[in-house]
Copies of this chain bind each other. A is one copy, B any other.
């Protein structure tokens, strides 16, 4: 989910849906293995998109009741289909804007937010509003990436340039692709207690083919998706773009390596 006034930097194409599904399956263990909610608890998943994380969340906590919201009717339809296909019954979907969540104060025991804040012009306000609908003592879990963490071999200036195009475009749309490193202060500033941030590093080399595929199909595909915008806005020339993308793919071949760090933050509302 993103701000209703801004387009979504990654687009909502079928390829994008595939990317997000892929993302969920390959990164699931790394990001979500330690997210479990007790039976009977009411959990809000804010910005469920096409349901990539919903599948994992609901399976990890079969006794919890989930409400998953997104602003995009199209994404919600895909999410519903997917969940229904998998026979999952402990989730209801609802169309809603994260800035105007249609829930009363202290409605939820827990809130889960993944890959949302990076797209919002005011992530702090969003966290504060979420705190209102969380019961005292309840938890919020926030997961975000940070494109500044991309580290690879062979290193390449042009590869960094094409990544910077995505960072720039996301910023121009009011987002922040470097938000992972900021989760600590955002959670503290929003007034959450007992905040704990843990980085989750994805590392890919030839001995980890599933992560190499992830780098190609998730990260590089996401960068490639902004090609037209980047060229149209003169952020980079054609030759540099092609070279940068080629250099990124090179890190997934032969003796290459690629690292990326996600940040997971958990905090409590004062009880």
Contact = CB atoms under 8 A, between A and B. Distances in A.
Report the copy number of this chain in the oligomer: 2
Interface residues of A, number: 29
Could you tell me the dominant secondary structure of chain A's interface residues? mixed
A44 interface: no
B207 A195 contact: yes
Contact of A257 (B153, B197, B257, B259): B197
A189 interface: yes
A151 B148 contact: yes
Contacts of A151: 146, 148-149, 181, 261
B199 A184 contact: no
Given A153-B182, A178-B155, A261 B201 contact: yes
Interface string A190-212: 00000111110101011100000
A241 interface: no
6 contacts: A148-B155, A155-B181, A184-B257, A185-B257, A197-B205, A198-B203
